[in-house]
Structure 1
Amino acid sequence: MRFRKSLAAMLLSVSLASAGDWPQWQGPNRDSISSDTKLLEVWPKDGPKLLWSITEESKVGTGYGTPVIVKNNLYILGGTGPKKDAEEFVTCLNVKDGSQVWQTKLKTAQGEFLDMWGGGPRGTPTVDGDFLYVLGAKGDLHCLSLEKGEVQWNKNLVKDFGGKIPQWGYSESVLVDGDNLICTPGTGTGMIALNKKTGETVWKCTDFKDGAGYSSIVISQVEGIKQYVQQTMSSAVGVRAKDGKLLWSDKSLARKIAVIPTPVLQDNYAFFTAGYGAGCECFKFEKDGEGIKATTVYTKNKVFANHHGGVVRLGDFLYGHSDNGGWLCFNMKAGGDEPVWKNQGVGKGSVSAAAGMLYCYSENDGTLALVKASEKKYEEISRFKIPQSSKLRPGQGKVWAHPVISNGKLYLRDYELLFVFDISGNS
């Protein structure tokens, strides 16, 4: 029952999206799971049919965020080049053929971050109702109309809220929940809620002043108390949704350098993982008066250390890449000293899921593997490589945009390139 309530809340957070759409970071429920069911179970030797592609820099721009898909349109955030001085813009494309519907240049602040991995924005847009919300690498937050891309309001997380640009640029994908937009400026202000229509401040959480990491917020409901769960550069935190009160925080995991993966929820539990030797941890939530108590189930577990690429949960099991063993299946609540299984697969990369399958996307060369989501063993069904690799992405950059599965189509990005494949069961 608690899980169903939490799921319902997340579904309500992005309104007016059709079944099969992918309206925000990690899909409709922020869990990297597509609602598509009838998809190809085996791919042809050369991969599924390529429907269309974008290979010109000016079309979608440089960047590492994923596209979002709502009804007949795709929305994507990009930059004008591979350096930190790249100007940012949003593009709307028709999903049928990739033709441009509109493109809007954004106000891009001056600011410093390391661009040896590539300039351009890192975040994924969020669609809610008739509006689109985007956060750029230097903290520029914009609300645009969905129909024409007209800017409704904009803020800057550094200038307006005392935030600080993370070492490799802001990478968070903002959350829209009800009437509010929530994100993590960091440093001067831990977390904020803004009126999604006007950009006016609803509340600020200054109870923690951790630096902003590269993760994104998820919603947890515990016996009627809604909290925003996030990990910063140093902590796991829970913030009360109604007023921004810090409910709990924990610094047990030795987070450092770059904290990237989005937390994973199950019932009243939350799983956190990070790379650079941090590992993983799990907490159980209980109502505590008007607050929430977070009890450690396990922490400093080194089996699952996801640098980036994310973790997807199906049932009781987590799937993703770990710096300590390759692709893993891991029991979320039980933890343990060993994974359920491990396999090198396509090498380090990102993951999404649909119709009981994992889509494992290699950061090294853009190879995508179709793997059965089974707790019994690693079972790869098919694999193929994207038709070409980015020529603009700096040598230290990788294929970091996650796979998107929406309405029978597979969307794969490599920096300024975008490829769309037909994976519907009818292809």
Structure 2
Amino acid sequence: MRNRLTTLLFCVLFSLSALAQQPTQWRGENSEAKYPAPNLLASWPADGPEVLWHYDALGTGYSTPAFANSKIYCTGMEDEMGYLNIFDEKGNFEKKVQYGKEFEVSYPGARPTPTIVGDLVYISTGYGELVCLNWQTGKILWNKELGADFGAENIRFGFTESVVVDGEKVYFTPGGKEYNVVALNRMNGDLIWKSAGKGQLSAYCTPKLVKLPQRQLLVTHTGDQIIAVDTEDGKLLWNYPFPNQYNIHPNTPIFEDGALFFITGYGQGCVKLALNEDGSAITKVWSTEKMDNQMGGAEIVDGYVYASGHKSRGWFCFDYATGQEMWNSKEIGNGAIIMAADKFIIYSDRGELVLVNPNPEKLDIISATKVQYGTAQHWAHPVVHNGVLYVRHGKSLIAYKISA
């Protein structure tokens, strides 16, 4: 009996330890922004969901919060320096940790969302410094200068890529000619492999990991090419030309029903590419210039894809299988879309916060309000954690009650 109890206790402790070591991800699990929200409110009060708390001294930036270790982590810039702000889950500020110089030109502020793995935090700065630090002690364990170490050139609006961690590897896209995409040892920053990709500049995109039975792919959007590399050795598997006017592609691709969906702004639009069985080749399925989301992502639900445009103003719904346009509505400003349980939450560039039913027949608005705190652009993606909606607006982080 004692042996069985000891074994059970070991299994529980091992499971908790493994869970604590799971890396956080930009836009949540699989980077899909589909967040569980038990007891989600069917609608919001007339003046919007209750504000549980707000904090208005984050520093400037556009990054979203990350959640781990019963803490909230969110970056901001003060006096040109980047800081990791740390809160408990009730919104009580605990401390801030400096991690490097941040981007003070062309829309100043912290950009990438931090990636948390246990006590370690992985952050890239707008100026191209890749940092691993211990959030408990504030000690920087290792750092890489993307220019000096990987031949990278900074891009118009600064690096915005959030670090992808998988197992003992860190993946990043410096955009150098030789070191276009790299895999590093996450504990010491040593190079594991490099890929020349297509030798193009980084393009603001946080990559997507696609796990297939035969291999795992890292898929991202560089200057004017979509590329896929094998995560085992960095071998370039395929590329697909998909440029826009400024080669700005912040949206992480979506993998759904054996195909990859890419969406970008400035009139280029979106494309669906079917993967073959082992991920070594692609076939174009359909594309459109109408749904050209700039940086707010997309959602695929029950065979339909939803997103806003950029040059094409308004919100769209397309049949994911065929590319047929289902509807277009200009009722809400362009912006970011996420899911909470079975509902969409849209945060527009006009500061609108909207609860929406997925519906291929119309833009089915349930409730709407305006974000009242913060300043500057409404560009950060909302996040849902433990039934609470978090919206970052400039120097403010706001927590809304959206669950009963």
TM-score by length of 2: 0.90
Matched, 1:271 2:250: no
Q: Which residue of 1 aligns with 2:211?
A: 221
C-alpha separation in 1, matches of 2:108 and 2:242: 32
C-alpha separation in 2, matches of 1:257 and 1:204: 22
1:25-424 → structure 2 map (5 Å cutoff): 25-56=26-57, 60-81=58-79, 86-96=80-90, 98-108=91-101, 115-116=105-106, 118-188=107-177, 189-254=179-244, 256-287=246-277, 292-299=280-287, 301-323=288-310, 324-336=312-324, 339-364=325-350, 366-390=351-375, 393=376, 398-424=377-403
C-alpha RMSD of matched pairs (Å) = 2.2
Deviation at 1:208, TM superposition (A): 2.0
**TM-superposition CA deviations, 1:14-71 (whole Å, max 9, x none):** 96259xx993210122101102232111111111111111113xxx211111011124
Deviation at 1:332, TM superposition (A): 2.4
* Amino acid across the alignment from 2:61: G
Percent of paired sites with the same residue: 32
| Structure 1 residue ranges, 4+ long, deviating more than 6 angstroms after superposition | none
Contact 2:299 2:338 in 1 (8 A): yes
TM-score by length of 1: 0.85
Secondary structure of the 1:292 match is coil
Deviation at 1:352, TM superposition (A): 0.8
Deviation at 1:220, TM superposition (A): 1.2
C-alpha separation in 1, matches of 2:203 and 2:42: 37
**Alpha-carbon distance change, 22 to 424 in structure 1, aligned in 2, over 3 angstroms:** farther
* Amino acid across the alignment from 2:284: T
Deviation at 1:161, TM superposition (A): 0.9
**Alpha-carbon distance change, 22 to 220 in structure 1, aligned in 2, over 3 angstroms:** closer
**TM-superposition CA deviations, 1:129-152 (whole Å, max 9, x none):** 332211110111111224344322
**Alpha-carbon distance change, 100 to 114 in structure 1, aligned in 2, over 3 angstroms:** closer
* Amino acid across the alignment from 2:298: V
Deviation at 1:331, TM superposition (A): 2.1
C-alpha separation in 1, matches of 2:148 and 2:105: 21
Deviation at 1:93, TM superposition (A): 0.9
C-alpha separation in 2, matches of 1:72 and 1:185: 32
Contact 1:144 1:152 in 2 (8 A): yes
C-alpha separation in 2, matches of 1:173 and 1:80: 20
Max Rg structure: 2
Secondary structure of the 2:147 match is helix
